[in-house]
């Protein structure tokens, strides 16, 4: 836009805002945002000027975040514009064909978005609705879907260090598996007090069909030494800030488990940029951070991994239950891993209004980390009474979630909550109150859907 | 480090330009808000912070980590002002 046209645009926008009954305070904020935007425009926000000032790559996006959307009243910064501040994230979003109505964007940079519970009904999560979690940035080559130069190195405690090309990987025996990947912090929003980190509610889980080669087969090509006890995963993503690359790992037993795969396709397509093109790990049932995206190296270690995401309090749980808000000493923390028994209600949508006697079908999914879902129970009276839901089981393969359904009707008017509580094959169930830990992992409190029944 | 060296210059330039328009509001709060926005948005979306709700100890814990991650240019006073702002606007107490 030329500055004259832009000026007219903002003047018109200001008029509309004023007509809509904006307060003088809002108009002042608007004027402030516009004047800053014009100032930055004159400076040449395209990057050259800022580079002269010594800022590095990404400054343009950060500055637009700062002087664009950041100061525009919230009502203007609508959901579809949530990625406006980061051109690369927006490009990755579009490349993946993401459905902005199905997803809630937590941050543009790094890109983090979860699926709304009511948008999770698919038994196999389509790429367009799969949650996105990033600690760092998305590689441009992934957005361009350019696999040139990619290879996977296996080194460390192996007999022969190997490097596998994409063609070699695809020529190995592969399998299709429906696997849930769930962020370790999914459910953090339900902790009280709120711990550090993104406030994921229920939707940082997806259950897509992945095509890949068992990691075991690849490691065996390199020859696993007896001294190997742990993996360390690395990718080619650009790192945010001045810090070590994000790198988590798993014990050898999990690495050699047949459902742990090096995946090159998601739901039958090349993996979208947001999910790790061209190749990612899928370590189902464990914190999603084990399933490294843009994977290019796995190092076998003779001790537990100590990469970023393995030490301190990151992806770590207290060795004993702690009081809400309490931070135990670092030595009392241990690496988190397998997920607990859990369920989500995908319908009805929260705050649905019903008629007396109307039948409503409760739908959802349950999953159980390393275990199996045995039962799902539904309550509409705050847990006094529970009725068993119908399970569409068993899952297509281990680690896929299981779909459940239950028809309900409400004979009387009033406010109700539909609760779902899954039970695994060992008898573990979900808590009514969320146990607390310092960084908000393992959140699996029962999901509650409020509904109102009219008189 | 070139990047670090030039940051105060930019902050100063922008600060001088922006300050007068906030005359009707609490200048001190606005200054703290500006410090938060200018420094934290250098790397990540402000929502990474503003979506959270933490007490002072936890916000200080976050700032400790950010310093480890490259936020090396803040003075102690600036850091405290950012924490003040976050505790007041995205916190639940001391």
pLDDT of residue A249: 98
For A49, nearest residue in chain B (alpha carbons): B10
Domain ranges of chain B: 28-40+53-94
Read off the pLDDT of residues A68-85 as tens digits, 9 standing for 90 and up. Answer: 434 433 434 444 578 988
Residue A15 pLDDT grade (very low, low, confident, very high; cuts 50, 70, 90): low
| pLDDT over threshold 70, residue A428 | yes
B93–chain A Cβ distance below 8 A for any pair: no
**CB-CB under 8 Å, B43 with A62:** yes
For A245, nearest residue in chain B (alpha carbons): B69
ipTM of the complex: 0.81
Cβ-contact A303, A230 below 8 angstroms: yes
* Calpha distance A128→A138 (Å, rounded): 17
Q: Which of A37, A242, A314 to mutate to test the interface with B (most CBs of B within 10 A)?
A: A242
Read off the pLDDT of residues A192-213 as tens digits, 9 standing for 90 and up. Answer: 999 999 999 999 999 999 999 9
Residue A21 pLDDT grade (very low, low, confident, very high; cuts 50, 70, 90): low
DSSP H/E element including A326:
none
pLDDT of residue A256: 98
What HEC string does B16-81 produce? Answer: HHHHHHHCCCCHHHHHHHHHHHHHHCCCCCCHHHHCCCCCHHHHHHHHHHHHHCCCCCCCHHHHHH
B47 vs A54, A107, A197: nearest CB: A107
Residues A279-290 have a mean pLDDT of: 98
Give the Cβ contact number of residue B10 at 10 Å: 19
**CB-CB under 8 Å, B43 with A194:** no
A194 vs B18, B53, B66: nearest CB: B53
**CB-CB under 8 Å, A106 with B46:** no
* Calpha distance A251→A310 (Å, rounded): 12
**CB-CB under 8 Å, B53 with A196:** no
Domains annotated for chain A, with CATH where assigned, are 3-122 (no CATH), 140-335 (3.90.420.10), 342-453 (2.60.40.650)
In chain B, which residues have their Cβ closer than 8 Å to the Cβ of A196? Answer: 52, 54, 58, 61-62
* Calpha distance B67→A241 (Å, rounded): 10
| pLDDT over threshold 80, residue B8 | no
| pLDDT over threshold 50, residue A121 | yes
Lowest mean pLDDT among A33-37, A263-267, B28-32, B65-69: A33-37
**CB-CB under 8 Å, B7 with A241:** no
In chain B, which residues have their Cβ closer than 8 Å to the Cβ of A243? Answer: 68-70
* Calpha distance A369→A428 (Å, rounded): 11
Lowest mean pLDDT among A216-230, A251-265, B5-19: B5-19
B27–chain A Cβ distance below 8 A for any pair: no
pLDDT of residue A39: 40
Nearest alpha-carbon partner for B51 in A181, A102, A108: A108
pLDDT of residue A67: 40
For A51, nearest residue in chain B (alpha carbons): B3
Q: How many CB pairs under 8 A join A and B?
A: 98
Residues B46-58 have a mean pLDDT of: 97
- Residues near A2 by beta carbon (within 8 Å), at least 6 away in sequence: none
Q: What percent of chain A has pLDDT over 70?
A: 82
pLDDT of residue A5: 54
For B72, nearest residue in chain A (alpha carbons): A242
Per-residue CA distances from B68 to A247, A401, B49 (Å): 16, 38, 17
| pLDDT over threshold 80, residue A65 | no
In chain A, which residues have their Cβ closer than 8 Å to the Cβ of B11? Answer: none
Per-residue CA distances from A143 to A186, A324, A367, A448 (Å): 26, 41, 31, 37
| Residue of A33 and A187 predicted with greater confidence | A187
Residue A53, classed as helix, strand or coil, is: coil
Mean pLDDT, chain A, integer:
89
In chain A, which residues have their Cβ closer than 8 Å to the Cβ of B72? Answer: 242
A240 vs B10, B41, B43: nearest CB: B43
- Residues near A54 by beta carbon (within 8 Å), at least 6 away in sequence: B2, B3, B4, B5, B6, B7, B10
Lowest mean pLDDT among A331-335, A402-406, B4-8: B4-8
Mean pLDDT, chain B, integer:
81
Residues A91-99 have a mean pLDDT of: 97
What's the token pair of residue A314?
Answer: 């990151």
B64–chain A Cβ distance below 8 A for any pair: no
**CB-CB under 8 Å, B9 with A243:** no
| pLDDT over threshold 70, residue A23 | no
Residue A14 pLDDT grade (very low, low, confident, very high; cuts 50, 70, 90): low
* Calpha distance A265→A295 (Å, rounded): 13
């Amino acid at each position: 836009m030329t500055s004259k046209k832009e000026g007219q645009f903002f003047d018109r926008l200001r008029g509309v805002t004023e007509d809509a009954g904006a307060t003088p305070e809002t108009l002042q904020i608007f004027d402030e945002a516009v004047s800053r935007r014009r100032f930055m425009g004159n400076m040449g926000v395209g990057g050259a000027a800022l580079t002269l000032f010594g800022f590095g790559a990404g400054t343009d996006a950060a500055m637009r975040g700062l002087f664009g959307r950041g100061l525009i009243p919230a009502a203007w910064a609508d959901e579809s514009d949530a990625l406006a501040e980061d051109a690369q994230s927006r490009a990755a979003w579009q490349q993946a064909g993401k459905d902005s109505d199905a997803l809630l964007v937590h941050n543009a940079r790094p890109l983090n978005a979860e699926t709304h519970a009511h948008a999770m009904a698919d038994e196999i999560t389509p790429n367009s609705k799969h949650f996105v979690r990033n600690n760092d940035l998305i590689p441009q080559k992934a957005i361009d879907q350019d696999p040139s130069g990619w290879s996977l190195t296996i080194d460390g405690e192996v007999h022969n260090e190997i490097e596998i090309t994409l063609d070699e990987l695809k020529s190995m025996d592969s399998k299709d598996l429906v696997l849930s990947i769930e962020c370790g912090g999914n459910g953090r929003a339900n902790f009280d007090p709120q711990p550090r980190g993104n406030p994921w509610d229920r939707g940082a889980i997806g259950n897509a069909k992945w095509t890949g080669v068992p990691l075991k087969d690849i490691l065996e090509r390199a020859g696993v030494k007896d001294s190997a006890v742990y993996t360390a995963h690395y990718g080619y993503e650009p790192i945010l800030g001045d810090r070590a690359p994000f790198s988590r790992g798993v014990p050898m037993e999990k690495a050699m488990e047949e459902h742990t795969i090096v995946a090159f396709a998601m739901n039958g397509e090349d993996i979208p940029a947001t999910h790790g093109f061209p190749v990612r790990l899928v370590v189902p049932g464990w914190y999603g951070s084990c399933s490294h995206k843009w994977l290019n190296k796995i190092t076998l270690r003779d001790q537990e991994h100590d990469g970023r995401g393995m030490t301190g309090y990151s992806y770590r749980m207290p060795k004993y239950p702690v009081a809400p808000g309490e931070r135990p000493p670092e030595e009392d923390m241990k690496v988190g891993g397998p997920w607990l028994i859990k369920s989500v209600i995908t319908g009805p949508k929260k705050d649905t209004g019903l008629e007396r006697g109307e039948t409503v079908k409760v739908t959802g999914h349950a999953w159980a980390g390393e275990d199996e879902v045995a039962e799902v129970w539904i309550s509409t009276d705050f847990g006094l009474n529970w009725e068993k839901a119908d399970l569409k089981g068993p899952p297509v393969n281990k680690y896929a979630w299981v779909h459940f359904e239950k028809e309900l009707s409400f004979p009387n008017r009033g406010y109700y909550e539909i609760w779902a509580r899954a039970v695994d094959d060992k008898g573990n169930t979900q808590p009514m109150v969320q146990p607390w830990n310092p960084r908000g992992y393992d959140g699996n409190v029962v999901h509650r859907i409020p509904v109102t029944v009219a008189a | 480090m070139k990047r670090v060296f030039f940051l105060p210059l930019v902050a100063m330039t922008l600060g001088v330009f922006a300050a007068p328009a906030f005359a009707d509001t609490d200048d001190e709060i606005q200054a703290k808000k500006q410090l938060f926005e200018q420094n934290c948005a250098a790397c990540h979306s402000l929502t990474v912070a503003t979506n959270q709700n933490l007490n002072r100890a936890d916000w200080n814990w976050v700032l400790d980590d950010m310093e480890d991650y490259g936020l090396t240019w803040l003075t102690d006073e600036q850091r405290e002002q950012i924490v003040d702002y976050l505790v007041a606007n995205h916190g639940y107490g001391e």
